[in-house]
Amino acid sequence: MNFIRNPFSLKELSIEEPFCDRAVEMKELASHALNFANVVLYSPRRYGKTSLVKRVQSVTRGQGIIAIYVDFFGVGNLEAVANKFAVYLYSYCHHDENLFKKAMRLISIWRPVIKPDPEMGITITAEPTTQINGLELLEETFSLFGKFI
């Protein structure tokens, strides 16, 4: 039985690959980015919004803009938004950092907790060093991002 190969690809386009007739949109979005304007892109799935944004980011990076792409798909609360933003921001800021420094930074946000346990004698767990709720975490993340820039 002969199978016909599907001519359509379901992978994300790299920035170097051909991009169909979006020069006007790219120019307009780049202009908005350089003027620090807020923009909302709205269209059905698979219309190329992500590819368009990533291409505009690559263009504006060379013009002094810090461009970070964060995918908020599936987040359900402010804490998840803050965490996701912090992870993407961290990966942008520390992508050249060596593995040991990354591991030490990860370990430093946890503290060991030792508690007596009637069954086991003692239990050792790890807890985050901070107990901030979602909105406070989001505000702190944006505040620290502002100080970083």
pLDDT in tens, 64-81: 777 888 888 888 888 788
Q: 62 lies in which domain range?
A: 10-67
Q: Is residue 87 domain-shared with residue 116, that is, in the same domain?
A: yes
Would residue 144 be called left, alpha or beta, if left means φ above 0 and alpha means ψ between -120 and 50 degrees?
alpha
Domain boundary among 31, 49, 67: 67
Give residue 73's pLDDT. Answer: 83
Q: Is residue 79 domain-shared with residue 149, that is, in the same domain?
A: yes
Q: Which residues have CB under 8 Å from 128's CB, separation 6+?
A: 109, 110, 111
34-50 average pLDDT score = 86
The answer to the question of residue 4 being in a domain is: no
Give residue 88's pLDDT. Answer: 80
Contact 140, 83 (CB under 8 A): no
Domain boundary among 38, 67, 96: 67
* Residue 37 φ/ψ, nearest 5 degrees: -90, 145
Q: Give 110-147 pLDDT, tens digit per residue.
A: 677 788 888 878 887 767 676 666 667 667 766 766 65
* Amino acid, res. 135: L
Split into its structural domains, the chain has a count of: 2
Domain boundary among 43, 67, 91: 67
33-46 average pLDDT score = 86
Give, in degrees to the nearest 5, the angle at Cα 23 between 61 and 29.
Answer: 50
pLDDT band at 85 (very low <50, low <70, confident <90, very high): confident
Could you tell me what percent of the chain has a pLDDT over 90?
A: 3
Q: Is residue 77 domain-shared with residue 59, that is, in the same domain?
A: no
Q: Is residue 79 domain-shared with residue 49, that is, in the same domain?
A: no
The answer to the question of residue 108 being in a domain is: yes
